Chains A and B, each alone.
Chain A
């Protein structure tokens, strides 16, 4: 019978030796012979990947990271992204053991095509509601962080409390806030498209040129944001569309995010 507690994976500091020699992992308690992934939580999969990817050669690790980032930033469930990455890690390790190239094992030289095949294949398994949900899955997070915490709490309620003004929990939703929310949604969508590529380049092609390139791009976007949002606030901050109870809003959005987390990490039944 299986223990339903999560296995602990404590990675003590271990020297990474020459390629081909495994990183030593102390105090591992893992489930042996688990059925499905029932007791293996997503965060444990991620922990193990972080450990075992160190056993790959530098070139294969870079390739693996490309796959990892691409599937993580795609519009699929988090669980599906992590499971596939974990599976790829095993393939890569197997290929190295048999002295085969990972391209041969993957069945293609084109990493992007490889990932696209998986992403389109796994999305075929989703029903229409799942696909629609995955298109907008960042909305609750943006509502919570940007609207709830940043705009309503930090930019409106706290300054008013500090100034000694009376503050009601019914916070005003202005036209400026709605426009800013739409802009943030748009920027997030674009950022998700390039995040994998930028993250990979900063990790594996971290030259001075790359650093400077992304520094100027991100600084430029930051300036655009600042000036843009100041302009929006100056023009539209006084137009109040409706009022929203802050506690109700934050707790509703938080609950949606919890449900999302559950769905994103739900295990496929056997």
Chain B
């Protein structure tokens, strides 16, 4: 796996939380589509589904079953309060990381 894929994978959880936050309520297929359209071209649903399960188990997202016109019930995810806190912390960490890494990579070192 190259550096780009590894870096993207490290931020996957935060990105998924933010997508759910922006959409307020969404489902797996839609989350995957948004990720693929925004740089996560290598991501597989086999990687994403356990992530949703883990986020749910950790109380960061919750699910609701709704009928779809295709037949099987569909699981819709939304953020919990703990999920919103986690997302906020992730955004702060990401801002800190990108600022400092950006400085170093830009040659702007002390």
Contact = CB atoms under 8 A, between A and B. Distances in A.
Interface in B36-79: 36, 42-47, 49-51, 53-54, 56-57, 59, 62-68, 70-75
A239 interface: no
Contacts of A113: 44, 46
Nearest to B71: A52
Chain B at the A interface: mostly helix, strand, loop or mixed? mixed
A34 interface: yes
Contact of B49 (A36, A84, A270): A84
Contact of A90 (B42, B47, B50, B72): B72
B28 interface: yes
Interface string A113-129: 11111100110110000
A209 interface: no
**Majority SS at the chain A contact face:** helix
Given A22-B71, A32-B67, A94-B70, A107 B36 contact: yes
Contact of A34 (B50, B64, B71): B64
Given A91-B45, A116-B46, A125-B50, A268 B57 contact: yes
Given A90-B72, A90-B74, A31 B47 contact: no
B29 interface: yes
B57 A97 contact: no
Contact of B65 (A31, A80, A93): A31
Interface size band for A: 35 or more
Interface residues of B, number: 31
Interface in A83-139: 84, 86-91, 93-94, 97, 105-108, 113-118, 121-122, 124-125
B63 to A, nearest CB: 6
B32 interface: yes
Contacts, number: 113
B47 to A, nearest CB: 5
B49 A125 contact: no
A33 interface: yes
A40 interface: yes
Contacts of B64: 33-36
Given A90-B72, A270-B62, A105 B44 contact: no
Interface in A53-98: 55, 80, 84, 86-91, 93-94, 97
Interface of B: 28-29, 32, 36, 42-47, 49-51, 53-54, 56-57, 59, 62-68, 70-75
Pairs of residues from A and B, 4 with the lowest C-beta to C-beta distance, nearest first: A121-B50, A117-B46, A107-B44, A118-B46
